[in-house]
Amino acid sequence: MFTGLVVNTLYICCLIFLPGIKTKCMIPPKAKKQTQELIIHDHKRIDPYFWLNKRENPEVLEYLKAENDYTSEMMKDTEGLQDVLFNEIVSRIKQTDMSVPYFLNGYYYYTRYEEGKEYPVYCRKQGSLDAQEEIMIDVNILAEGHDFFHVSGITVSEDNKLMAYGADTTGRRIYTIHFKNLETEQIIPGNIGGTTGMAYWANDNKTVFYTSKDPETLRPDKIFRYQPGSEEKSVLIYEEKDEIFYTFLYKSRSREYLVIGSSSTLTDEYRILKADNPFGEFSVFQKRERGVEYSIGHKGDKFYIRTNLNAKNFCLMETPVGATARDNWKIVIPHRENVLVESFLNFDHYLVVDERIDGNTNLRIIDSDKNDEHYIKFNEEVYTAWISINPDFSGKLLRIGYSSLTTPISTYEYNMKTRGMKLLKRQEIVGGHNPDDYESKRLYALAGDGKKVAISMVYKKNTPLDGSAPLLLYAYGSYGNTIDPTFGIARLSMLDRGFVYAIAHIRGGEFYGRDWYDDGKLLNKKNTFTDYIACAQYLVDQKITQTDRLMAMGGSAGGLLMGVVVNERPDLFKGVIAAVPFVDVVTTMLDDDIPLTTGEYDEWGNPNDKKYYEYILSYSPYDNVKPHDYPNMLVTAGLHDSQVQYWEPAKWVAKLRDIKTDDNLLLLYTNMDAGHGGASGRFKQHKETALEYAFLLKLVGIKN
């Protein structure tokens, strides 16, 4: 029992009625109320669960544990199904596997996995794939004794002798950088904590630069120079003092420049330094101007610039190395109203541009010598293609990635001269997978203002589209992040059980270009929610599914979407999964000590401004919980989440329990050992997937 915190967590006899299901349950945990007045703009809010934001408070941890116990009990009748789903998903994953090697600076680099092990082994071979393997890091060994472990930012010095890598042991995305001598295989003393995990080597083979995070806000704000193994301390090189910006560092693909970037939602600024001169001064490439976004790539005597300068959907420009200010920029690819320039990659004789046209990704190849160009052709209606790892400037071979809702992730080598395509590797589905057994298509719903909202959909061909099939509708809709249609190995377990899976490409992403993003943020944010509702209603109206078989899912900012949807149209959905949901929007955006808040003002608005306060308050899920019936809901959280603090979903569930008028399932599962991305490990992560799928299957009476 938890004194003063929760009541009646003992087992009692009660029944929750679902289609064909009787579930023995216990009374759910009931969080205590502790009045907290929050006043701004002469408006007062009462938050009875504000106290839950103290991670170290034993009462908070006991409450989260009680919720986990309740979820386990309510899902106890699905434990066998969860085991089946988990084993089914894991059985499809090739246990002993290897990535496609890429060649860099005299070595072939690749990642491999060993049977039964959760983590990757990072390797290389000198000069030839027939050479002896060098194991750079075996993450399985490093992860021993840790409930969570993630390695990031592996970089190697130009002489191939030294390596840096970052390790996160909590899931909070705070990395400690370690250094290793690859010749002696010894760890170099002097690791560095509190970083983003990335360290980049200068060309002297002994100096690195890295980015640290503010310990409270977790904003990457400082760049340091350091020499591993020396007695010298790190030297501060750059500090980003504007709280709406974060700073980062990388080395140019040409390996000639070290680059410091500063970015906010609307504005970018870069500084460059010759990598041969690590003790020199970084020079500003082009000073920041609010609303001007740009990114840079170096080749020879030029820099290429992707920018929105007088180009809402971005254009491509170039400038001489010695004259980088924008007055010297010249257009290479002009702005087009119907084409979004997403990224680019330059080779000695070719330029590759990733463009989004009518929702689809297109790879454009430009022959710089012949002034000739073409697009790579793909055969599927609904697909995703992207520029993969291409560290080598020379030659005519481009490595690309490709996937669709029916085609597993594939790596191709494309000859930019002959236009021939060679498959290097396709994700192997153990036990077999025939794409022809599945159908994918694109549908279009009309939003209330007449906008056409695309829906990408996949299902097994023998699944009837007469309203009888359950359907899971996924969406995100924020930060300009487009959820592209790619293959999901775990998703097969749902498709093979008769589910339809669909993605709503709602405003807030960039499916139709920058206008699609701008029309779904700030004071246009409600378009994101109404677009999703329009897509859900369309799928019901077209009799592809029914409301008693329609499921909704979104995570993080997509969890915010779920929160709004269940407040506004709970009648549309049988079940909802809100993963690490950003639901306490007003309180979070008013607290600039919470990680990442200040950098979000240009996405959501700053509620210190009354106009934005009132608008955000009008949709913030936590502030708008209503005394009505809600769908069955599974809400997830991560105790160490740095993106969405665990207390947002915890408070939301507590308030829902107190106010909602139904007896539907409301479950909160908090991963006590992980952060925003859930569990680490290639297999362990699917324990949570199995829980989510079992929840959905339970709601429609599928027991095996």
Residues labelled as active-site residues: 556, 641, 676
3-class secondary structure per residue, 140-169 = HHHCCCCCCCEEEEEEECCCCCEEEEEEEC
d(CA 511, CA 519): 12
Q: CB-hemisphere CA count at 13 Å for 362?
A: 19
Cα 394 to Cα 367: distance, rounded to the nearest angstrom: 13
Q: Which residue type occupies 389? A: I
Picking from 124, 120, 119, 122, the residue whose alpha carbon sits closest to that of residue 102 is 124
The answer to whether the CB of 404 falls within 8 A of the CB of 385 is no
Please count the other Cβ atoms lying within 10 Å of the Cβ belonging to residue 312: 14
β-bridge mates for residue 402, sequence order? 385, 410
Quick one: tokens of 520?
Answer: 């779904």
The sign of the dihedral angle between the CA atoms of 229, 235, 240, 241 is positive
Distance CA 646, CA 668 (A): 11
Side-chain-side CA neighbours of residue 642 (13 Å): 18
Count how many Cα atoms sit within 13 Å of the Cα of residue 522 in the half-sphere of its side chain.
13
CB neighbour class for 701 (10 Å; exposed up to 12, middle 13-18, buried from 19) = exposed
Residues 463, 636, 90, 677: is their CA dihedral positive or negative?
positive
Look at residues 92, 228, 74, 223 and name the one whose alpha carbon lies nearest to residue 635: 74
